[in-house]
Every structure is written in structure tokens, then in C-alpha cells.
Structure 1
Amino acid sequence: MSILHTVNKSPFERNSLESCLKFATDDAAVLLFEDGIYAALAGTSVESEIAGALGKLKIYVLGPDLKARGFSEERVIEGISVVDYAGFVDLAAEHDKVQAWL
């Protein structure tokens, strides 16, 4: 069963991302949105954790939430795919289950 994990909390305020990465199985997908987008930014203290997870997980970030917080796609860690709202819907439809990490 394929699972799309969603994280909408900043990794600097909550441990939602850490828990997600700990329990996500190989070949699952992770979508970072709302304040979760901070985990997708290069040069942060969680970059190495995200880079390590890219070997087993597909990681996406919601582009409109990046822009709403003043960041461009150039700030995103290499290997993370930027999606729009339609891409978010496609990801949810492509997976058997969606797990929200709050």
C-alpha cells in the first residue's frame, strides 16, 4: 500500500517531520506544505536529515506555500520536487492512503 505523508508544521517548532521520517516506509511520498515548507529549504539544520531521507522517500513541497512565505524554488534542497495545488491533488489520488502528521 502506498502512503502519502503530509507535514504542515515547521521542523523548528514541532517534531512532526522527525516522526514522519522515522515511520515512513521505503518508496512512500512526503508532501511539505504550510509551515512544513521550512524543512525543504537548503542551508537549514534539517537539511542533512531531509537529504538522507531522499534516498528512500519521494519528497515534495507545495510551491504556493513557498512563495507565500517569501521563498523561491531556488532555495529548495536538490531532489525535492515542487508541486502546485493540482499536483497536491494528484499525489493524494495516486496513493492508497494519506497520513497527516500534526
Structure 2
Amino acid sequence: MSDLHTVNKSPFEKNSLETCLRLSKADSAILLYEDGVYGALKGTAVENMIASAVGDKKVYVLGPDYKARGLAEDRMIDGVEVVDYAGFVDLVEANDKVQAWV
């Protein structure tokens, strides 16, 4: 039984992503969307946190939000998976509950 955690705030403006990563359990799914997608960028202050999380959690980025911000796929941290809106719905259905970190 796993949970889906959603983060929509930039990790450079709020600590929602950091708190989510610290409190979420192994085997949880984490979806970054809206400004949360900035947390998936290589070469940032949060890269190590995300890279470590990928070891025991599944980290996803909502592709349309990532692209809407003009971010290139080659800047994404290894191990982060891209999903579309249908993939977002699939994640909600596949998990027991959804925890929004705002």
C-alpha cells in the first residue's frame, strides 16, 4: 500500500518538496507539477535530495508543466520519470491516498 505525494511549489520558494521527501515513506510516489517541476532540474541545490529519493521512491514530473516552463529534458535528474495527464490519473488510481504538499 503506497501513497502519492504531490508537490506544486518551487523548492526555491517554499520547503514543501524538502518536507515531502523527509516525511514520505519508501515506495511512495512523488509527483512534481506546476512550479514543483523545478525540483527535477540537475545542477540545483535540491538535486542531491531528489537523486537520493529516487533510490527508494518513485519520482515523477508532469511533462506538460515541465515543457510549459521551457525546460529541456536533458536537464532532468536521472531516474525522474515524465508522465502526462493520463499518467497523473493513473498514479492517483494506483495509490491508496494522495497527500498534497502546498
Give the aligned partner of residue 77 of structure 1.
77
1:11-57 deviations in whole A, cap 9, x for unaligned? 00000001101110010000000000000011111101111111111
| SS of residue in 2 equivalent to 1:45 | coil
Give the aligned partner of residue 33 of structure 2.
33
Aligned length: 102
| SS of residue in 1 equivalent to 2:67 | helix
Give the alignment's TM-score, normalised by structure 2. 0.97
Cα pair 1:28 1:57 within 8 Å, conserved: yes
Give the alignment's TM-score, normalised by structure 1. 0.97
Could you list the runs of 4 or more consecutive aligned residues of structure 1 that deviate by over 3 angstroms after TM superposition?
none
Matched residue type, 2:68 = A
Give the aligned partner of residue 92 of structure 1.
92
RMSD: 0.7
Cα pair 1:10 1:39 within 8 Å, conserved: yes
Superposed, 1:1-102 pairs within 5 Å as: 1-102=1-102
| SS of residue in 1 equivalent to 2:20 | helix
Q: Structure 1 stretches of 5 or more lacking a match?
A: none
Q: Structure 2 stretches of 5 or more lacking a match?
A: none
Alpha-carbon separation, structure 1, partners of 2:60 and 2:95: 14
What fraction of aligned residue pairs are identical, expressed as a percent? 66
Alpha-carbon separation, structure 2, partners of 1:2 and 1:29: 7
